[in-house]
């Protein structure tokens, strides 16, 4: 299967660091937060010739009658293009989106074939339906490209700064991989380099190499924690670690293990994290065991913890579905408040168009729900903050044999759950 070649050796680190770090964007939803005070303007899709047709039905509130009081919902649609690669040699994966105030969404993605030292940030102001080039981050070291990006918007004050958008990347050149942090004070127009968090060897995915990659940020308890995949420890082919700080400019903590297998050859990576309503954090990742990088040996696991800065001793749990499907490859998790007292954890893997849901805070079996979004490597799922009945799915290429636009789909999660 192409996916075999695709998942680890290629997408992760080989040659060009095809990896994605996982994200999300994905930064965790904060179920404690009040719904943001979004201006609730209805999207006015500007439909160009290449724009997709929204698949939503008109909202019942959207008739000829005078508009009822807001809030209004976000329309559903399938496969809105965020970005189209220049040509089919680019295999864009791992899109990561983040909502900013004023109903703005930013998007970034991994373009391993990029030849530029500048990462583009795209923006939508109509709930993801249309997208425009908006901002940039540029490497401070000539010849490095910024891969595996993850965005995080900070509400309120952190590290003495307000209205801050953070970007972490793996800055890659022929000789090194570098987990870097960038910050924007202008809603994502310019991201400036602020800190080199970790430095590793060249992007090679074999036991004994020393690359780092796939960063993912979480802000918890006034600390920023950056999780990443780390091959530098001679006892582990690849483990997941984190480093934390209360101040983005300095005082970063040492490297702490998050997932490290007993077996030297095991490779853990592609981390994504969701905050649950019981204040636990779900850390999802893939584990390639026994040095067997066959396409069906990148199973998805998770850990649950109350303290995302201290995860190492939590046990690794398997995801068991009602149908027996084993989730494989580069997972992404989000939490949605719909679906009962516990809300719903939604998980995407890299092998099908389905999402997997759990309504018992991670305990018990997971159910599969098919979606209108295509399968994609390291696909992102996010609960939509300004309409929590909806789920946003962002995907790119399926594998390194197929090129694809970066595509956004909004599904009605509440309806999908009701039909289950």
Ligand X SMILES: *[C@@H]1O[C@H](CO)[C@@H](O)[C@H](O)[C@H]1NC(C)=O
Binding site for ligand X (CB under 6 A): 78-79, 101-102, 125, 163, 186-187, 292, 294, 296-297, 340-342, 359-361, 363, 372, 374, 404, 407
Shortest distance in whole angstroms from residue 398 CB to ligand X: 8
Shortest distance in whole angstroms from residue 301 CB to ligand X: 14
CB of 243 or CB of 399, closer to ligand X: 399
Q: In this structure, are residues 372 and 395 in contact, taking their beta carbons and an 8 Å threshold? A: no
Instruction: Give the span between the Cα atoms of 114 and 220, in whole angstroms.
Output: 33
CB of 105 or CB of 218, closer to ligand X: 105
**190-200 vs 132-138, strand pairing mode:** parallel
CB of 325 or CB of 342, closer to ligand X: 342
Instruction: Give the span between the Cα atoms of 33 and 190, in whole angstroms.
Output: 27
Cα end-to-end distance, the chain, whole Å: 31
CB of 213 or CB of 374, closer to ligand X: 374
- Shortest-Cβ-distance residue relative to ligand X: 374
CB of 290 or CB of 310, closer to ligand X: 290
DSSP string across 72-134: P-PPPEEEEEEE--SSTT---EEEEEEEETTTEEEEEEE-TT---SEEEEEEESSTTSS-EEE
Residue of 346, 363, 365 whose CA lies nearest to 417: 346
Residue of 310, 313, 228, 306 whose CA lies nearest to 272: 228
Shortest distance in whole angstroms from residue 220 CB to ligand X: 21
Shortest distance in whole angstroms from residue 253 CB to ligand X: 30
Shortest distance in whole angstroms from residue 56 CB to ligand X: 12
CB of 133 or CB of 360, closer to ligand X: 360
User: How many Å is the Cα radius of gyration of the chain?
Assistant: 20
Shortest distance in whole angstroms from residue 195 CB to ligand X: 22
Shortest distance in whole angstroms from residue 78 CB to ligand X: 4
Instruction: Give the span between the Cα atoms of 285 and 266, in whole angstroms.
Output: 13
CB of 67 or CB of 363, closer to ligand X: 363
């Amino acid at each position: 299967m192409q996916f075999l070649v695709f998942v680890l050796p290629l997408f992760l680190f080989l040659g060009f660091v095809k990896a994605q770090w996982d994200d999300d964007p994905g930064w965790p939803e904060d179920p404690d937060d009040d719904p943001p005070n979004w201006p609730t303007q209805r999207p006015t899709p500007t439909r160009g010739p290449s724009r997709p047709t929204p698949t939503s039905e008109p909202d019942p509130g959207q008739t000829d009658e005078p508009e009822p009081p807001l809030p209004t919902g976000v329309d559903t649609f399938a496969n809105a293009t965020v970005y189209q690669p220049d040509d089919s040699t680019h295999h864009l994966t791992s899109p990561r989106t983040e909502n900013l105030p004023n109903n703005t969404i930013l998007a970034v993605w991994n373009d391993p074939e990029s030849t530029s030292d500048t990462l583009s940030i795209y923006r939508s102001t109509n709930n993801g339906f249309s997208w425009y080039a908006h901002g940039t981050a540029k490497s401070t070291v000539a010849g490095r490209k910024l891969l595996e990006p993850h965005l995080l918007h900070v509400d309120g004050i952190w590290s003495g700064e307000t209205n801050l958008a953070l970007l972490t990347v793996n800055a890659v050149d022929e000789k090194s991989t570098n987990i870097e942090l960038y910050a924007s004070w202008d809603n994502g127009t310019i991201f400036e380099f602020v800190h080199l968090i970790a430095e590793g060897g060249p992007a090679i995915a074999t036991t004994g190499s020393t690359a780092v990659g796939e960063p993912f940020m979480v802000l918890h308890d006034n600390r920023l924690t950056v999780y990443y995949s780390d091959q530098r420890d001679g006892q582990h082919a690849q483990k997941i670690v984190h480093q934390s700080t209360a101040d983005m400019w300095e005082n970063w903590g040492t490297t702490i293990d998050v997932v490290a297998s007993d077996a030297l050859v095991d490779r853990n990576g592609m981390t994504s994290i969701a905050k649950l309503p019981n204040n636990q954090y779900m850390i999802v990742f893939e584990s390639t065991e026994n040095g067997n990088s066959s396409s069906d040996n990148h199973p998805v696991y998770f850990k649950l913890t109350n303290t995302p800065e201290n995860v190492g001793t939590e046990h690794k749990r398997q995801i068991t579905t009602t149908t027996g499907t084993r989730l494989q490859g580069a997972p992404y998790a989000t939490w949605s408040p719909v679906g009962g007292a516990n809300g719903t954890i939604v998980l995407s893997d890299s092998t099908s168009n389905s999402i997997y849901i759990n309504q018992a805070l991670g305990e018990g079996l997971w159910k599969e729900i098919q979606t209108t979004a295509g399968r994609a490597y390291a696909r992102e799922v996010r609960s939509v903050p300004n309409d929590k009945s909806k789920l946003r799915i962002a995907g790119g290429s399926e594998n390194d044999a197929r090129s694809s636009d970066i595509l956004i789909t909004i599904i009605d999660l509440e309806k999908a759950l009701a039909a289950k």
